[in-house]
Chain A
């Protein structure tokens, strides 16, 4: 109620200050970025993460930071959009204000972030897109996994190693409508095609969540107590299914596999090492590969960086779990 006049004054100030800073032409931003590659320089790399709350993305951040530490002159700043597209746009914009030399972005969604990524790219800042793509071609490089290939690897593991003589399988899928869920399902079916005695008797979504995986498995195991294995689209759901089976006293009769293989104590590699899961398949974060690319662009002044890099997967079983865990930097 009081001092509205002052309100106007302050608001006016904000606007005027905004308008006054027009003088500087915007191509100035270019010199901060593309111009000066080479050794012995300082580089600021902005890492825009979609959602730190997902363990996979936290590991991605860790990989980027750890890899960058090994490159002299690299400094990485990480922002978290907390699953909010608008927030991620603002995050990238504040990176641009800071005049970062290179942008690594793991977009929350493709369409909403396309514009701001293009804005960065147009300012001659190299952009490395991780895990999820943006639309169009205004970026330098994309690094991501191949979920179809991972699903297929899992399927082939089932066909040849886990259930060579066949059996009933329950599938616990990811969030309905999400691309990885569809791809991991399709790949798996291609993989088990070689062994017609394997039968998928049920498929239900577990929404990527451990607790949902557990409750879904609870119900499915009641209906199909005779299944031989549970194929979950990620490790947490596989662990949830394991808990459900244990409650039903079936945990020794059924085999469980997951996907992701994060090198963290709560991740799938440890679960394999400790015998709860038979196998898991790595879905690489691409963090290290992104920094390798960044080094190529900024330090080595490389011109021909690969436009698209598809990360391979590896199968983790009890035999190699401990070794892979260490290799991936788990602690």
Chain B
């Protein structure tokens, strides 16, 4: 066996396909398949988008799916899940999972409402305090995972209970309504911007979500931190032996997840004019679904932020088109389940083929 015999598997060629490569005619069917898979989540998003247009009911000749504000509503509706999913992507790339984000969202919504309404703090101090709490909570979980060597599933399962409990204690168990005005027990009216939209059409939370998503894409593409996340997720032992500061990176990643869950909590409070301790239950699973549909492997080390954004939007479009067609709520659950399994199966298929 000489070195010259060693050529990489043909499949790997497709991985480096750049925009220019796409214009080139594919040399084989394999290569074509690889190229499609390289963008599978976007491809799936485009397909679902097209299907949604086709399947949308029309009223007076107008396509309801594309109608005024509907697309904005879709992005707005997934904005909280999407923001959480961005943080979740970091965690999953690291080879972990964060079950506490939904509860942190509830805690943060309660915190935002309490600080602004009951404590009479301004918007900025309230929001900063809530974000700090979320980040600190996440960091603590990351530290426990890294230093005690407990699986993040367990640590964040415990964190979920703790955050939910804190939220209930802080709020007294009931939702704290947010009224706007200048008086005592009223929140600054400027906070209502989270319920507003640019131009009356593009909702503020949607823009916030996409901005966070784009920032995360840039972070994952350009920073050494991101390389370390991928390395730890791919092979923690190898990363440690290569000098990657494993503990520090883990703490940072879980802090990011907690911080973004807190951001989602602030948005949640702003959108619903209330901080309820029970809100956000199950959001962690929707976020994981978005990450998985986006093609990030739960085993860690491979995946992309763009995929997650596409996955979140795909879920949003799916919810919307099912609702527009008045599909029975129970049948909707079945369809969503099938879509998640299909996304996972697609990746498995690709890995087997390659």
Contact = CB atoms under 8 A, between A and B. Distances in A.
Contact, chains A and B (beta carbon distance below 8 A):
yes
A10 B310 CA distance: 9
A17 interface: yes
Interface in A176-212: 176-177
B199, B220, B271 interface centre (most CB from chain A within 10 Å): B271
A21 B77 contact: no
Contacts of A6: 19, 39, 42, 306
B329 A7 contact: no
Contact of A115 (B64, B195, B319, B320): B195
A19 B39 CA distance: 25
B71 A10 contact: no
Interface stretch (B136-144, B244-252, B272-280): B272-280
A7 B273 contact: no
A285 B135 CA distance: 44
Contacts of A77: 326
Contacts of B210: 11, 15
Q: How large is the interface on A (under 10, 10 to 19, 20 to 34, 35 or more residues)?
A: 35 or more
Contacts of A84: 279, 281-282
A52 B302 CA distance: 39
Interface stretch (A89-97, A256-264, A310-318): A89-97
B324 A97 contact: yes
Contacts of B67: 21, 24, 97
Given A17-B66, A86-B272, A112-B276, A11 B200 contact: no
B201 A19 contact: yes
Contacts of A82: 329
Nearest to B303: A1
A275 B67 CA distance: 56
A97 B42 contact: no
Contacts of A161: none
A77 B323 CA distance: 9
Interface string A69-96: 0000000011110101110011101100
A8, A24, A112 interface centre (most CB from chain B within 10 Å): A112
A8 B306 CA distance: 8
By Cβ-Cβ distance, the 8 closest A-B pairs, closest first, are A7-B306, A112-B272, A80-B329, A77-B326, A94-B323, A18-B71, A111-B177, A90-B77
Given A21-B201, A26-B68, A26-B69, 16 more contacts: A1-B303, A6-B42, A7-B309, A11-B313, A14-B313, A17-B71, A19-B202, A21-B70, A22-B201, A82-B329, A85-B272, A86-B77, A89-B271, A110-B177, A112-B272, A112-B274
Interface of B: 15, 17, 19, 38-39, 42, 45-46, 57, 59, 64, 66-73, 75, 77, 80, 173-175, 177-178, 195, 199-202, 210, 213-214, 217, 220-221, 268, 271-274, 276, 279, 281-282, 302-304, 306, 309-310, 313, 319-320, 323-324, 326, 328-330
18 contacts: A1-B302, A2-B39, A6-B39, A7-B309, A10-B42, A10-B310, A11-B313, A22-B200, A24-B67, A52-B329, A78-B328, A79-B326, A79-B329, A86-B80, A86-B271, A94-B324, A97-B69, A110-B177
